[in-house]
Structure 1
């Protein structure tokens, strides 16, 4: 199972990131545990300084912008 974390405060970009992640996971039919983290203390503890941020299995993959669904698919497939 893949652990996917989307860090963000709930702004439009953060919600878009979560939606794109959900679409990518559904399209790829992968077994993933997707978490939306909005708690500022949790973000600081993880070193997230810009949002939205996408972490896959504990590793930062995208910070500060919203990737398209196709880019997220590539990340999840290990191609990026």
Structure 2
């Protein structure tokens, strides 16, 4: 699974990246987590409000930081709530 955290470096963006990495580690999820800070790359996903979470090329959360429980549900069940 490829997970991308989109954000320019604000506190919420950092918080989402940290939470995603924690959930991946705690649940032994086989995933590659990357942070995308380049605004031109972020805009390719049609995201105007950060932070955003992209799983396997699909934007699943944008404009907020979901709870760790919600992240676990998204990443383990691939339930995309957007």
Instruction: Name the TM-score class by shorter chain.
Output: over 0.9
- List runs of 5+ in structure 1 lacking aligned partners: none
Computed over aligned residues only, the root mean square deviation of the Cα atoms, in angstroms, reads 1.0
Relative to structure 1, the CA distance from residue 40 to residue 79 in structure 2 (aligned partners, 3 Å threshold; closer, same or farther) is: closer
Q: Measure how far apart 1:79 and its partner are.
A: 5.6
CA distance in 1, matches of 2:2, 2:78: 17
In structure 2, stretches of 5+ residues that fail to align are: none
Aligned length: 79
Q: Following superposition of structure 1 onto structure 2, how do residues 1-80 of structure 1 map, counting pairs within 5 Å?
A: 2-78=1-77, 80=79
Structure 2 CA distance for partners of 1:40 and 1:3, relative to 1, 3 Å: same
Cα distance, 1:47 vs. partner?
1.1
> How far does residue 44 in structure 1 lie from its aligned partner after superposition?
1.1
Scaled by the length of structure 1, what TM-score is found? 0.93
**Contact 2:29–2:76 at 8 Å: present in 1 too?**
no
Instruction: Please report the TM-score for the alignment, with normalisation by the length of structure 2.
Output: 0.91
